[in-house]
A and B are shown apart, each in its own frame.
Chain A
Amino acid sequence: MELVCPAGNLPALKKAVDEGADAVYFGFQNATNARQFIGLNFTDKRANEGIEYAQSRGCKVFCAINTYPQPNGWREWTAAVDQAASLGVDALILADMGLLDYAAQTHPDLSRHLSVQGSATSHAALRFYQQQFGIKRAVLPRVLSISQVEDLARQSPVELEVFAFGSLCIMAEGRCYLSSYLTDESPNTRGACSPAKAVRWLETDQGLEARLNGVLIDRFQAGEKAGYPTLCKGRFAVGDETYHALEEPVSLSTLDLLPKLKALGISAVKIEGRQRSPAYVAQVTRVWRQAVDAAGAAEPDSVRMQAWAAQLSQLSEGSLTTLGAYHRKWK
């Protein structure tokens, strides 16, 4: 089972490699990838250096080009595919059917992974992508329960990669347009959800307000921890109640499920967080390296498990983790 870690920049990439990632994934400095953050991602030169660093140490490199090009951006996206191919990455992570087709025709020997943004939630959908575009692997959306993942693992025609740790998307990825409804950017169009350029913090008599393009996402009282206003994690009013109507600000952690995922034959576990610091990537990779290695053991080591869970918890949003949709009770 591969451990796939985020590389938002070169220092993070090196940390992930040093701490034992089997693969790292990165994107270019434009809207072609789903983590377009200011100051993040790779130039050609940096990518070259990172790929050299990783591959010479036995670590694979995947390139995420997983947003949806429109006609006026088509050439920028195909250029990113060509660039990744010429840099010698081990696989492309793609979502758009047109771009998958372009990659399959233009670079047939370069592995194609279906991004989580491709929204494949059934073995039939996986078969469609495999037959039409020859995908080798698919990253599953975070909306599936463990029993659904189990069904898929049994019938999937391709390798499966699942999210193990990091931010939790509660909507089926690739088909969530909430961000572009409130701002002019979405993960699909610009690789951004609740973009920082649209965020305003305001101290008011009613508390600290977090607004996204003017829309009040949450209001924090003194002593409350104020998290980034990702729009689906704010407090809203439904009926007479004001609460986290969509989701609490928590992170996903599937540490407890790891032995099960391994037994199901899941090919890779993925750590989310290209936007996080190199220090974060180092810590998370270190813990998960140990956990993945230990997952095959006959006797689970509950003491070590607890220690890992505690370390991960400290690194999580609001210091809270959840099994998310993997666990039925979440729903």
Chain B
Amino acid sequence: MKLSILVNEGPYQHQSADSAIQFTKAALAKGHEIFRVFFYHDGVNNGTRFAVPPQDDRNITEEWTKLAKENDLDLVICIAAAQRRGILDENEAKRQGKDGDNIAEGFRISGLGQLIEAGIQSDRLVIFGD
């Protein structure tokens, strides 16, 4: 089955972020295709490489980056939600006149249209949120 994932909550704050990554791993292991993972609301905070969780804890962002690399996943952060919350890639930092970017490897920033397209193109859109 072709699946897309929507992550609506931030890492560590909410179980949704963990559940989304666990579900994605399980779906891939069962041979399903992941068309896209889209991050919205505080979910965009999953994509900052500046988070430093304690060493004896999981690192959710690094897990996404690793999973994306191994499975060629498309991890998309909503630009409107990201702008509010200070998640920037190089282009956005330049465009907004900010002095640095913080997006993690394997993620990209794009528009909400990417979420709608995922809804159109996928057999199921699976949502992780509050």
Indicate, yes or no, whether A interacts with B.
no
Binding site for B on A (CB under 8 A): none
